[in-house]
Amino acid sequence: MTEKRMSRWYFGGLASCGAACCTHPLDLIKVHLQTQQEVKKRMMGMAIHVVKSDGVLALYNGLSASLCRQMSYSLTRFAIYETVRDMMGSSSQGPMPFYQKVLLGAFGGFTGGFVGTPADMVNVRMQNDMKLPPELRRNYKHAIDGLFRVFREEGMRRLFSGATMASSRGAMVTVGQLACYDQAKQLVLGTGIMGDNILTHFLSSFIAGGCATFLCQPLDVLKTRLMSSKGEYTGVTHCLRETAKLGPMAFYKGLVPAGIRLIPHTVLTFIFLEQLKKYFGICIIS
């Protein structure tokens, strides 16, 4: 008889929150870089500027919104992906083919991206607030205050501003993270050289983080611009045209900090997830 641990549906959200607490400063710097109209500062320059202007704790501006986003966006996509994957895996007595993992990841990510759009928008606004002149700052106290004020001042529709980009990005990043992680882990274990241990989890999640960064960066740039705008874009197409005027590389603005943020976030998420699964997961004996 062999004992196998399966993840509970909410473990992905908890693991993502743990990772977000570690990588939030990198996410904040990435947002600042992406919302520059002209490239004035690089990653280190922007970090130093933020610390000098507003102090070290400013690197954690919007953390409550980031955690709120993880408990809506990440919890939803992980719950959909892992629940369906485990159901299909147990019924077929074997791992899903990669193309099915991609399709499932895209669906789970798209759904999670839509559910998490309001928290994501508040997250971007809170991180970007310190760049604005004092009279233009929104000064949300925390994520719930931000969500309530957007609803009260701008309406329900504004809460889902950028939902198309957020959902599309969610689909791409989930394919890159979850589907590629599962496939990379399956291939690594298939070699017989490494066991199901933390080194395998690290290697597989590092590969997945790189894939996710490359796939989602153009959509991430557009999403950030739409969510942080004050009405200068009439829609996704207009934002796309205006960004394209800055050149092809404008869609990969902040690629290095995005990778520096997303890859560690992916690694930490899956390491936390695997540990949660190991110690608190559902035990199945076969």
Tokens of 12: 């992905």
Given a cut of 70, whether residue 37 has pLDDT beyond it is no
Given a cut of 70, whether residue 2 has pLDDT beyond it is no
DSSP-derived secondary structure for 207-251: HHHHHHHHHHHHHHHHHHHHHH-SS--SSHHHHHHHHHTT-GGGG
Per-residue model confidence (pLDDT) at position 40 = 66
Given a cut of 90, whether residue 35 has pLDDT beyond it is no
Question: How far apart (Å, rounded) are the C-alpha atoms in residues 210 and 150?
Answer: 34
Percentage above 90 pLDDT, the chain = 37
- Per-residue pLDDT band at 21 (split at 50, 70, 90): very high
- Tell me the sheet residues that pair with 3: 285
Q: What is the pTM of this model?
A: 0.82
CATH number attached to the domain at 3-285:
1.50.40.10
Per the CB < 8 A criterion, the answer to whether 180 and 208 are in contact is: yes
Per-residue model confidence (pLDDT) at position 211 = 92
Per-residue model confidence (pLDDT) at position 161 = 81
pLDDT tens figures, 159-193: 888 788 789 889 999 999 999 999 999 999 998 88
Q: What is the mean pLDDT of residues 5-19?
A: 91
If one compares 110 and 162, the residue with the highest pLDDT of the two is 110
Per-residue model confidence (pLDDT) at position 36 = 67
Q: What is the mean pLDDT of the chain?
A: 85
pLDDT tens figures, 233-286: 777 788 888 888 887 777 777 677 677 878 999 999 999 999 999 898 887 776
Tokens of 267: 């690694």
CA distances from residue 167 to 83, 128, 258 in whole angstroms, order as listed: 20, 21, 18
Per-residue model confidence (pLDDT) at position 205 = 96
Residue 155 phi, psi (nearest 5): 95, 160
If one compares 118 and 138, the residue with the highest pLDDT of the two is 118
**Residue spans per domain, the chain:** 3-285
- Per-residue pLDDT band at 100 (split at 50, 70, 90): very high
Q: What is the mean pLDDT of residues 59-87?
A: 90
- Per-residue pLDDT band at 86 (split at 50, 70, 90): confident
Of the candidates 268, 254, 228, which has an alpha carbon nearest to the alpha carbon of residue 70?
268
Residues 6+ apart with CB under 8 A from 96: 85, 88, 89, 104, 182
pLDDT tens figures, 116-127: 999 988 888 887
Per the CB < 8 A criterion, the answer to whether 77 and 108 are in contact is: yes
Per the CB < 8 A criterion, the answer to whether 123 and 65 are in contact is: yes
Proportion of the chain in helix, strand, coil states, percent, rounded to 5:
80, 5, 20
Question: How far apart (Å, rounded) are the C-alpha atoms in residues 263 and 1?
Answer: 37
Given a cut of 80, whether residue 229 has pLDDT beyond it is no
- Per-residue pLDDT band at 90 (split at 50, 70, 90): low
Per the CB < 8 A criterion, the answer to whether 124 and 227 are in contact is: yes
DSSP state of 73: I
Position 21, amino acid? C
Per-residue model confidence (pLDDT) at position 1 = 55
